[in-house]
Structure 1
Amino acid sequence: MTTIQPARPCLTSNDAAVLQALFDAESSPSSGITVDPLLPSWPTKVNVSCTDLETLKRRETDIVRKLQTNETPSRENVQSALDELDSLVSSYPTYPSAYTNRAQALRILVDIQYNERLQNTPNNPYGFEINADDALFAPEAASLSSQIFADLGQAISLATPDSPADPLSSVQARLLSDAHTHRGYLLLKAARVTKDQSGQENVGGPESLRGLSADRLEEMASHDFFLGGRYGNKVAQQLAVQTNPYAKMCGAIVKEAMRKEVQG
């Protein structure tokens, strides 16, 4: 009788480390940063004094409260919040948090426009299948979607440390975590809309994303999810793994090998 010996692992330590990084969401994302709770909230390039910072926090809290209701806020409340955020950004153009809050308010405005249009023209006024999550990529939302991506990009630019080795404050890490995750989610939506509406001329979205393939958009989303996870967002860590093109490629290879083995 032939004795079957168990196969020895054929992966080198380097191969094992690569696979661990690809498939284990906890393997590396948050290990490369240092959060120091004793640091000032924002780096020096934000250029906001401690006195002004306290005033800004109070103003932001008052603005955000207009949007935090049990029901969808009215268009008037959203527009009022946006006007105040515009004023805040104009007065303090290097304050990152104002940009992320404005991006959130603009998302709410897009949802309101979507619902209003459906109520006025219930027989699919968009010309192609679309739901509330995709409304950001309808043609008439192009200006708002461009502003949302611009605001998230500006917030990330202002809050990101000059060197990856520089420590971050807790406030700084939280904003970067949220902003990267938010942008990654929108890029993933853009990838799905691009894939679903391939060949449609009336698909909108930011000008900077038009012409990009669904695969490229998903790669960009994966990168943002990785950074969101690196700064501490657990959901982003999981999404980074799911959208990682190398992990998906390896998964497809394993799936195909298993299919052939079952058929054999």
Structure 2
Amino acid sequence: MPGLTTRDSFVLKSLFDPEASATSAKHASSQTSLPGMSEDRFSVHRSTELQIISQLQGDTSDAETVQKAIRHLSSLIDESPGYASAYINRAQASRLLIPTSGLFTSSHAEASGQLLKDLQKGIQLAAPTTPGQQLSTHQTTVLAAAYTHRGFLLLKIADIIRNGEQVHGVSDTLQSASAESVEEQASKDFAAGGQYGSKEAREMAVRTNPYAKMCGVIVKEALKKENEEWKAGQLC
């Protein structure tokens, strides 16, 4: 299994502790299902999904076990294309098979691109359809995990661009984007993830916010200038 970075650890925590991400989400209602899906049908899908991902808990899962879980999640998606968290869990399980250094490289282009597609689909299915809509706990859990995971992937893409390397497996828009603009997208995803209950996403939203970073630079420059002026006064 590829070594996990600090960024990966939270992503996987969202997968293996699925309720953690949404416990503090102010948008959550007492409902658990998805719009247009009965509670009974949702319960069946959820039970199947939990059985699948339970095999991936801990650090002992081998590649074959992960691949088997991905196949089962794909079958669940084929059976119920509107079940949002199956896409998110498939993306996060697939992430276990891609080393951090291999993300969005030519050797892992297709798999990396599929991560973004699955996360986008999960967001699309779980997102509110009207302003102020109260969401189910399932929706907030999915949105918190998906936005946070995608935020980390966008940071990786920004790093690749900043290093002057080519990004593989993404849209033409992302390929031609600047590192700063991709970081800004990541910050927006973290802000959304935090809005739906992810503490880690809230912290990352602050750290990656371009205005906060700009203010930080201004403060550092002001302190530096003040220190230089003080030293000049002392020397005189």
Flag whether TM exceeds 0.5 (same fold). Answer: yes
Between the two proteins, the alignment pairs up a number of residues equal to 205
Task: Give % identity.
Answer: 43
Q: Greater CA deviation, 215-224 or 240-249?
A: 240-249
The question of 1:207 aligning with 2:171 is answered: yes
Q: Which residue of 1 aligns with 2:200?
A: 235
Q: Which residue of 2 aligns with 1:252?
A: 217
Whole-Å separation in 2 of the counterparts to 1:163 and 1:183: 23
Whole-Å separation in 2 of the counterparts to 1:95 and 1:239: 28
| Structure 1 residues 217 and 165: CA distance shift in structure 2, 3 A | same
| Alpha-carbon shift at residue 204 of structure 1 (Å) | 2.6
The question of 1:56 aligning with 2:45 is answered: yes
Q: Which residue of 1 aligns with 2:71?
A: 83
The question of 1:92 aligning with 2:80 is answered: yes
Whole-Å separation in 2 of the counterparts to 1:252 and 1:43: 45
Residue type matched to 1:213 in 2?
Answer: S
Whole-Å separation in 1 of the counterparts to 2:217 and 2:130: 36
Residue type matched to 1:49 in 2?
Answer: S
Q: Greater CA deviation, 162-171 or 236-245?
A: 162-171
CA contact (8 A) 1:33 1:164 kept: no
Whole-Å separation in 2 of the counterparts to 1:240 and 1:56: 32
Within 5 Å, give how 1:1-264 maps onto structure 2.
34-37=27-30, 39-44=31-36, 48-71=37-60, 73-111=61-99, 133-196=100-163, 198=164, 200-201=165-166, 203-208=167-172, 209-264=174-229
| Alpha-carbon shift at residue 98 of structure 1 (Å) | 0.4
The structure with the greater share of residues assigned to helix is 2
Residue type matched to 1:67 in 2?
Answer: L
Structure 2: runs of 5+ lacking an equivalent: 1-23, 230-236
Residue type matched to 1:75 in 2?
Answer: A
| Alpha-carbon shift at residue 66 of structure 1 (Å) | 2.3
Q: Deviations over 1:131-187 (max 9, x none)?
A: xx2321221111011111000001011101112311112221121111111110111
| Structure 1 residues 249 and 69: CA distance shift in structure 2, 3 A | closer
Rg larger for: 1
| Alpha-carbon shift at residue 205 of structure 1 (Å) | 4.0
Q: Greater CA deviation, 168-177 or 233-242?
A: 168-177
Whole-Å separation in 1 of the counterparts to 2:25 and 2:45: 30
| Alpha-carbon shift at residue 253 of structure 1 (Å) | 1.3
TM norm structure 2: 0.81
Residue type matched to 1:227 in 2?
Answer: A
CA contact (8 A) 2:148 2:189 kept: yes
TM norm structure 1: 0.73
| Alpha-carbon shift at residue 34 of structure 1 (Å) | 2.9
Residue type matched to 1:85 in 2?
Answer: L
Q: Deviations over 1:199-220 (max 9, x none)?
A: x35x434235212111011000
CA contact (8 A) 1:103 1:152 kept: yes
Structure 1: runs of 5+ lacking an equivalent: 1-30, 112-132
Residue type matched to 1:41 in 2?
Answer: S
CA contact (8 A) 1:180 1:224 kept: yes
| Alpha-carbon shift at residue 59 of structure 1 (Å) | 1.2
| Alpha-carbon shift at residue 40 of structure 1 (Å) | 4.2
Residue type matched to 2:39 in 1?
Answer: C
* Structure 1 vs Structure 2 CA RMSD: 1.9
Q: Greater CA deviation, 81-90 or 215-224?
A: 81-90
